[in-house]
Chain A
Amino acid sequence: MTLRNWRLRSFVVAIMAATTVMVVVLVVAALLAISIPALEDETQREVQLQANDHANRTQIVLGALESRLEVVGESHALVDAEVFAGVLDMIIARTPMLRALYLVDANGRVTAAGLDSSMSRLRSEILGSDLSSTPLLRATQATRSTTWSDTYLSALSGVLTVGVATPAGDSHVLIGEVPLDAVLSTLEETGSTRLAALWVIDSRGEVITESRHGPGARRMNLNGLPLLQASLAGTPLPPYIDFEGQRYHAGLALSEALNWRFVTIAPTGLDNPRVSRMVIAIGAAFAIALLLGVLLSRSLAQLLLAPLNSIIAQARDTAHGRQGHWPRGPVVELNALSGDLEAMAAHLQSLNLDLEQRVAQRTEALAESNRSLQATLAELERTQHELVRAEKMAALGGLVAGVAHELNTPIGNGLMAVSTLQGQAGDFRRCMQAGLRRSDLDTFLLNVDQAADIATRNLSRAADLVTSFKQVAVDQSSAQRRRFMLDEVVDEIIITLRPSIRRLPFSIETDIQPGLELDSYPGPLGQVLANLINNALIHAFEDREQGTIVIAARRAEDGRIRLTVSDDGQGMDASVLEQVFEPFFTTRKGRGGTGLGLHIAFNAVANVLGGSLTASSAKGRGSCFELHIPAIAPSMSETGATA
């Protein structure tokens, strides 16, 4: 689980708000837990009281009606029939609760009727009608006391009604019809604003009337409800009824006189207006407390955060290098934090300055050593060039020494032949002075011929040598490009090297494919060969009694020339082979090796001849250097700088 990042302000507000909510929720829950049951109990008591109240009030009002009818009934025997009929009409006119009054004789016949205006035209029909089978009349005749009916269909008006019957005289009965609406208006007149809804229920469970608010039960038969069952059975009443899927507090009062039941019901739980008002009030208080809590927590958080924010702002300024005043506020810890940060910032600043100085110093020192290194490098490069030139000069010097040595013999021989001839010419002159003999002349001529012959041969030999040397010297010093036969150049090189080899126990063999003509630079080629041969002489045959160097050349398949210089010497190991063309790499450091010979050769092959020089060798198996060069060398501009 990853924690999301909170802003401190939100965090503080959230914590404060959460605390507020928790406290308020606990208080609200406690309040509700205590008050709701109390309210419900109160409602229950009140509902029962209201039922009793309704029953009592209705009984009083209807009792007054009863009394009036009883007085009228008793007067029946005292007045004659017509007067009595007038009395009935007067009573109806003055008693809005009554719709009709019937005087019924012992046979159940209506003998007189008091009717309200809506029914007066039915008088003739009503008089003489037979009510003997109506339950109300039967009950009154049986008990000879005032009786109230259940709801019934009035035979005369054909509407649902309740009736009250009272004995009139010894045999007659006075029946009054009270419309159901009149019962309701009675209740509404007597009752104030009520919490509970009211059902007035007759003995059969039919609803006589009901209050306009509350669940309608009219048209239902309610005797099936456990409350009414309990009432009918005389067992304790349940405090609740479940009606049409809802639960209600219920109170029931029985009016003995009317034989009606007054059932008051009030919704339970949140449907109880008291409970809902309480819940709304507490909910509102909860909302206000919550709102205040959240608002206050924002301000309080602001109070706490303002100094902290200024410290943070100052820290940010300091971090960006801006100067400023480290704030102080009312909170000790924050002041301490501010002070510590200030000290830390100051310390960091001084450290920073120090560091900058040191960096400047180091940078200067580095620049100095860099300059020095560059100078050294330039010096080294110059030295390298000088060394290369010196090497070349040394090679030339060797060449000159070789040439001088080579020329020495023929010229010496020629000189000896000529000086011998000079001596014999003196002897001949002396013979001529002493007498010349034929034989002397012949001998002299023979000697002259011999001497001339020797001198001629030796001098021409010397001339040849000089020509050769001259060619080599010109080639090597001028790096001229020309067409040449490879075998000739190789031979010339070997000739120039022979003086150095002659005294050594090593031989050089050539195996050059005839007719290989090159258009290239014989000087650098010769230099390369000389270096490779010298390298073999110095390194391959070190401490050896014999050795052979083979120079071979073939035209390769790609038209290039493959020229190898191989020896049967001691070979090189891999680490040496790897570095053999590196400048200044030598295995004879301090013993005269410059470490430049092979490097020069490599550069010459790559840069001048336009080819490649590779070496292969194994310890004890000799070495082979292989040139792979084009028959027509690239022009100098293509190959780049010379070595």
Chain B
Amino acid sequence: MSVQRILIFLLAALLAACGKPEPIVIGFIAGLSNRTTDTGEAARNALTLAIEERNAAGGIGGRPLRLLVGDDGQDAATAHQAMQALIRARPAVIVGPYTSAMADVILPLADAAGVVVLSPVITAMHFVGKDDMLIRLNRSTRDNAADYARVLAERGLHRLAVAYDVRNRAFSESWLTELRSQFPAYGGEVIAAVEFESAADTMFSEVAARLLETEPDGLLFIANAVDVARLAQQTRKLSPNMPLAAAEWAASEQLVELGGQAVNGLLIAQSHDRTDEAPRFTAFRDAYRARFQRDPGYSAIASYDAGIVLFQALERRKSGQSVKDAVLRHGPYPGLQHLIEIDAFGDSTRPIHFAEIHDGQFVLVR
């Protein structure tokens, strides 16, 4: 054997040794260090589970998936930094963000880098019907507000006082605007809208007092779970029987833990059906419980759906096809509870389920 052949052999052996397939990086961005940690953590857990399951089944095309987690801190500068770090890792796709305010920060960066951002939950009208790098798996605030308007009116809540979080203005104002435009059709009216900033030192008792002084039929909070829990706590001190409702954003498992008795009877919409006993859903729920010792919330389910979408899209992606094109073309996707169809603008829809909280449980209504 010539020296050359020995060298080639050694080189080949070396390459074979280094020849582990390069992992496909899946970026993830959500609030993980602040008041939205509940939805962020649940979403991250669900995506972690989806990726662990997929990797156990051999990854995609023999390549393992690697989750890279970024924390937007619900702060523009932090989000900017986290997003840049994610983009540097050249992810196939970034799952997130989970609030519209962060989407405003992240989208320009994603558009510039040409990275698909797959947001499982955001709904603000601002992002609907645009041909950009954002793909949404949720319905819009218009759809949600319309359903809320109908259900609230049906429950006799016609004069509504609203508190909304301006830290996520993109979402909360969009939501409020839609409610204001839809509510009159059902004979309802938003009689007061009090804005507040989601922060540790915000005096929620004052917000609650301002809402109550308008003598409404009920209160609606457009805020995250922590803030809704605190608003509910403060409201109950002042008016123990005031009907409460909250926008779907707060519908996490932590709402119940943090709200205690204060959130009893609170009306809230959910983007998944907790009572679903279909084997596919229960298998997911059990796996999630076993892995994270908690029940999966709406953001978990939507993020698991995001995993389903991007795995199928990446698997069916043809060589040379962009990830965005693959996601748009290789649907529909079998979500956990519904068939996900994504239109040319990267928009989608999903069912909605109204629930009330009773004794620490979400109980479906109507």
Interface residues of A (CB under 8 A from B): 107-108, 118-119, 121-122, 124-125, 128-135, 152-153, 155-160, 203-206, 219-221, 223-224, 244-245
| Given A124-B205, A132-B261, A133-B259, also A224-B52 (CB < 8 A) | yes
Q: Which residues from A are CB-within-8-Å of B256?
A: 133
Among residues of A, the one whose C-beta sits closest to the C-beta of B30 is A219
Cα separation A283 to B256 with both chains bound (whole Å):
61
**Would you call B257 an interface residue if the criterion is a C-beta within 8 Å of the partner chain's C-beta atoms?**
yes
Cα separation A129 to B200 with both chains bound (whole Å):
15
Flag if B262 contacts A135 (CB, 8 Å): no
| Given A125-B230, A219-B44, also A153-B261 (CB < 8 A) | no
Flag if A155 contacts B229 (CB, 8 Å): yes
Flag if A125 contacts B260 (CB, 8 Å): no
Cα separation A394 to B341 with both chains bound (whole Å):
142
Flag if A125 contacts B205 (CB, 8 Å): yes
**Would you call B204 an interface residue if the criterion is a C-beta within 8 Å of the partner chain's C-beta atoms?**
yes
Flag if A135 contacts B32 (CB, 8 Å): no
**Would you call B294 an interface residue if the criterion is a C-beta within 8 Å of the partner chain's C-beta atoms?**
yes
Nearest CB in chain A: distance from B362 CB, A: 13
**Would you call B203 an interface residue if the criterion is a C-beta within 8 Å of the partner chain's C-beta atoms?**
yes
Given A130-B259, A130-B262, 13 more pairs with CB closer than 8 A: A122-B201, A125-B204, A131-B260, A133-B259, A133-B360, A135-B257, A156-B230, A158-B199, A160-B37, A204-B293, A204-B294, A220-B44, A221-B291
**Would you call B99 an interface residue if the criterion is a C-beta within 8 Å of the partner chain's C-beta atoms?**
no
Cα separation A13 to B35 with both chains bound (whole Å):
72
Q: Count chain B residues whose beta carbon lies closer than 8 angstroms to a beta carbon of A.
A: 44
Flag if B360 contacts A220 (CB, 8 Å): no
Cα separation A244 to B260 with both chains bound (whole Å):
39
Nearest CB in chain B: distance from A221 CB, A: 6
Flag if A121 contacts B292 (CB, 8 Å): no
Cα separation A312 to B213 with both chains bound (whole Å):
116
**Would you call B234 an interface residue if the criterion is a C-beta within 8 Å of the partner chain's C-beta atoms?**
yes
Q: Which residues from A are CB-within-8-Å of B203?
A: 121-122, 125
Flag if A203 contacts B293 (CB, 8 Å): yes
Cα separation A219 to B36 with both chains bound (whole Å):
13
| Given A125-B205, A129-B233, also A219-B32 (CB < 8 A) | yes
**Would you call B69 an interface residue if the criterion is a C-beta within 8 Å of the partner chain's C-beta atoms?**
yes
**Would you call B71 an interface residue if the criterion is a C-beta within 8 Å of the partner chain's C-beta atoms?**
yes
Flag if A206 contacts B34 (CB, 8 Å): no
Q: Which residues from A are CB-within-8-Å of B229?
A: 155
Nearest CB in chain A: distance from B361 CB, A: 10
Cα separation A501 to B261 with both chains bound (whole Å):
175
Flag if B69 contacts A219 (CB, 8 Å): yes
**Would you call B226 an interface residue if the criterion is a C-beta within 8 Å of the partner chain's C-beta atoms?**
yes
**Would you call B33 an interface residue if the criterion is a C-beta within 8 Å of the partner chain's C-beta atoms?**
yes
B52-83 contact mask (Cβ, 8 Å, vs A): 1 or 0: 10000000000000100111000000000000
Among residues of A, the one whose C-beta sits closest to the C-beta of B32 is A219
Cα separation A131 to B203 with both chains bound (whole Å):
18
Cα separation A128 to B23 with both chains bound (whole Å):
51
Q: Which residues from A are CB-within-8-Å of B261?
A: 107-108, 130, 132-133
Flag if A134 contacts B257 (CB, 8 Å): yes
Nearest CB in chain A: distance from B122 CB, A: 20
Nearest CB in chain B: distance from A497 CB, A: 96
Cα separation A22 to B284 with both chains bound (whole Å):
61
Q: Which residues from B are CB-within-8-Å of A121?
A: 201, 203
Q: List 17 A-B contacts (CB under 8 A).
A: A118-B200, A121-B201, A122-B201, A125-B203, A125-B230, A128-B233, A130-B262, A131-B260, A153-B258, A155-B229, A155-B260, A157-B200, A204-B293, A219-B71, A221-B41, A223-B291, A224-B48
Flag if B38 contacts A125 (CB, 8 Å): no
Flag if B41 contacts A206 (CB, 8 Å): yes
Among residues of A, the one whose C-beta sits closest to the C-beta of B236 is A130
**Would you call B140 an interface residue if the criterion is a C-beta within 8 Å of the partner chain's C-beta atoms?**
no
Flag if B23 contacts A245 (CB, 8 Å): yes
Cα separation A466 to B226 with both chains bound (whole Å):
170
Among residues of B, the one whose C-beta sits closest to the C-beta of A128 is B237
**Would you call B254 an interface residue if the criterion is a C-beta within 8 Å of the partner chain's C-beta atoms?**
yes
Among residues of A, the one whose C-beta sits closest to the C-beta of B360 is A133
**Would you call B45 an interface residue if the criterion is a C-beta within 8 Å of the partner chain's C-beta atoms?**
yes
Nearest CB in chain B: distance from A35 CB, A: 23
| Given A122-B203, A125-B205, A160-B33, also A221-B44 (CB < 8 A) | yes
Nearest CB in chain B: distance from A151 CB, A: 9
